[in-house]
Chains A and B, each alone.
Chain A
Amino acid sequence: MINTVVDIGLLGLLLATALLMMRSQSPLSITILSSIYSLIICALFVVLDAVDVAFTEAAVGAGISSVLFVAVIRHDDEPSNNKRGNNKLGNDAPELKSAWPSGLSICLGLALGILLISGTADMPLYGDPAAAIHHYLAPRFLGQSGAEIGIPNVVTSVLASYRGYDTLGEVVVIFTAGMAVLLLLAFMPDQKIKSEVEGVSTTKRRGKPPRLWSRRTPLIANPVLKTVLLRFVPIVILFALYVQFHGDYGPGGGFQAGIIFGVGLITFGLLADSEKLQNVISERMVISGMAFGVLLYGAVGVAALFFGGNFLDYSVLSESQTAGQHLGIFLIELGVGITVASTMLSLFISFHRRHFNQSQDEFPG
């Protein structure tokens, strides 16, 4: 009963937030609404028993995503060739449209929605224990993973072992995104379309090789914030380590830990000045870290091949099956954590980097 009330309340909040987001025109307020939306859906996930997913959604949707959006929106200190002087990104958008969406997309959306809702008629009801999905694969995961893998968190068992290959794919996706952002924001020279001249110019700046920490002054200069937040950094990092190594027993795991770890370092980056942070972590370390996690994950898989098992078959890594599974899951979660933490750091840095000089010849580090 209480569950139902909470569920319905959260659904209502979600809808309200989504409608507000449709209406809002300012990128900053949409971003803030989107992080609220993430928190609500995160609470909903808890109600729906998906604690691991909620954890991830909180870290990703309300955390990293919002940080990235804000980083892009406040990235307004670049020289702009827009004629307006104090041009804030996105806020210069002319109000060509009314705040509400146009008729065509509403119609399309409504048509799709009605079609979809009519399609729900054959779906199993909420929480129905007789639904097909609870009777085929899930009983084995719930019933056997204790004996086969030996860790209490079944989500981790599924994620890291039964479907470990998907997780390898997931790490590779993160790695790909890291590489993509690095390529787009760090390596490519900027192009500009000039409104006066009919044409395109590829401007290439020569100069010092790009430095990851090009911002010399800390982003947060307020002494109160600085003092308080600086105390938090070690706690955040400690918590990340807890989440990393306790993921087998409770909600959490490499991915969440990686994000939290990354956030800890990002906070430090916001507070400390550039030299200090560069002493802690160099650019080369960040890039290598992204690759190292993937390689560690892959190495576990390849090691299984050499021990005579299939790819990612952890059971062959040690004498007993569960010991092998423990070892394998530990290592791959570590790989996930390293890649995710480095990628988060790299994303943050890339988005906060000023318009910097492009080097043609030097690889960073």
Chain B
Amino acid sequence: MDKETRRSYKIEVWVTAICFAIVAIFGGFFSSVVVILNERFFDRVPTPEALVAAYGETMFVFKEHLTVWGFPLHYFLLIIFSWIGATIIGAIWCIVMDRLEAKQRA
């Protein structure tokens, strides 16, 4: 493997790994993080009596100052990451692979 080919190979593997890791975070791990860091996104409040059976004595309400365009931050990030974020990451990966492909053909 010559130097240039080796470089192309490394770019392919690493760009793919990074893009995959980012969309995996967008598409799965971020949802977990919100649950793990519950207290950062939500305030614990007493549960209204009608809901105690379902949610227990206390429940969570999103922090009012953590909003974007009116949406709770975690919700906004979840939908934007998985939609616009994933689209942008996909487009970046495509551009890199288009260039690599052109090199391979050359």
Indicate, yes or no, whether A interacts with B.
no
Contacts from A to B (Cβ < 8 Å):
none
